[in-house]
């Protein structure tokens, strides 16, 4: 059974390609973080190795092994995997390197050990450095018939065009709020009120919603980060730059924090424009209303542009500390 929620047309196409034995040697799933790209990749890996009539069945030994991450023919090539290969800590990893992809190149030529196909999943493929990307390109040019590569990325434009051209590309779209809320109630037993709130906060990302429903710390961390953001306009430049330095030491959090900031400043602009019914952070309307009154629409839209610019710079491997320091200097102070 496919576990992915809300991407029925993509699932239908993948299911038909398997049934008709038209499986591509490489797929690229794109979309926002936490939208379901990894879940879809694992589901496809299960379907390719499941021996039941309805694939994936979710009950056979192969499906269970893939779900638990112990199937010998299904590998997830990410920073965790690279850290293990290199005998380093996760904190030392910030990009996929050529030796990691070379290990894939060596392994992919071997026949499956117990499954029907070898599947290599590369989440966040955009974090490959140029040498690793070019090495992967060689593998994509002449893949063995028993192997399938599954790449995910937030945007296909962040990958080499030659890599994208050798993959079958599927873009995953943000889901409607009501779809997420209903699934949280039905599958995860979340109360109607809590499901509605989480669905609104998720901004269409089912993966984030599931995590928030299962781990209360997700919402707690969100509120803590927003409280830090609320405090920044009221402190001096030195404190802002110090905050930028501290955040730069946690590169795996920067993208998530900036996405949250963008959501907050978008809400400020909506409140300032009288469109309160469209905001995302519905549980914090009072702070939104108070802060929105201190900024002009021009300042709000200007800082949203600054956040997007910073996100793009970081995707292009800009120095995180410098990019965040510039963003902190662009932060509008507001008026009382």
Tokens representing 114 are: 């117990």
Contact 176, 40 (CB under 8 A): no
- List pLDDT tens digits, range 202-246: 999 999 999 999 998 999 999 999 999 989 988 999 999 999 999
Burial class, 194, CB count within 10 angstroms (exposed 0-12 / middle 13-18 / buried 19+) = middle
Q: What are phi and psi of 7, to 5 degrees?
A: -120, 55
- List pLDDT tens digits, range 10-51: 999 999 999 999 999 999 999 999 999 999 999 999 999 998
pLDDT above 80 for 317? no
Q: What is the CATH number of domain 8-171?
A: 3.40.50.300
pLDDT at 93: 82
Contact 205, 34 (CB under 8 A): yes
Domain segments of the chain as ranges: 8-171, 175-214, 218-330
- List pLDDT tens digits, range 76-107: 999 889 888 899 888 788 889 999 999 999 99
pLDDT at 90: 80
Contact partners, residue 74, CB within 8 Å, separation at least 6: 45, 49, 65, 66, 115, 118, 119, 121
* Best CATH choice for the domain 218-330 from the list 1.20.272, 2.40.360, 1.10.10, 3.30.70: 1.20.272
pLDDT at 193: 94
């Amino acid at each position: 059974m496919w576990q992915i929620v809300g991407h029925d047309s993509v699932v239908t196409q993948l299911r038909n390609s398997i049934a008709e034995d038209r499986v591509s040697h490489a797929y690229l799933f794109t979309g926002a973080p936490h939208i379901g790209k990894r879940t879809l990749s694992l589901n496809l890996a299960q379907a390719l190795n499941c021996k039941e009539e309805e694939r994936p069945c979710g009950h056979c030994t192969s499906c269970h092994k893939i779900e638990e991450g112990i199937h010998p023919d299904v590998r997830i090539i990410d920073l965790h995997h690279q850290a293990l290969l290199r005998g380093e800590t996760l904190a030392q990893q910030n990009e996929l390197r050529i030796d990691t992809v070379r290990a894939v190149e060596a392994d992919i030529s071997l026949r499956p050990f117990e499954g029907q196909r070898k599947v290599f999943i590369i989440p966040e493929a955009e974090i490959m450095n140029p040498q690793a990307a070019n090495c992967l390109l060689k593998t994509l040019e002449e893949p063995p018939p028993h192997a399938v590569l599954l790449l995910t990325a937030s945007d296909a434009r962040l990958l080499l065009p030659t890599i994208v051209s050798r993959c079958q590309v599927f873009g995953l779209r943000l889901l409607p709020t009501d779809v997420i809320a209903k699934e949280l109630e039905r599958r995860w037993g979340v109360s109607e009120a809590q499901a509605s709130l989480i669905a609104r906060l998720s901004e269409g990302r089912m993966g984030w919603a599931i995590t928030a429903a299962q781990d209360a710390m997700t919402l707690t961390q969100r509120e803590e980060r927003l409280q830090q953001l609320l405090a920044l306009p009221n402190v001096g430049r030195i404190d802002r730059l110090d905050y930028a330095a501290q955040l730069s030491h946690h590169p795996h959090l920067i993208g998530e924090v900036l996405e949250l900031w963008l959501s907050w400043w978008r809400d400020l602009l909506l409140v300032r424009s009288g469109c309160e019914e469209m905001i995302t952070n519905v549980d914090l309307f009072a702070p939104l209303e108070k802060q929105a009154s201190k900024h002009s629409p021009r300042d709000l839209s200007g800082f949203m542009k600054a956040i997007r610019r910073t996100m793009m710079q970081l995707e292009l491997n800009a120095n995180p500390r410098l990019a965040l320091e510039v963003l902190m200097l662009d932060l509008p102070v507001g008026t009382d």
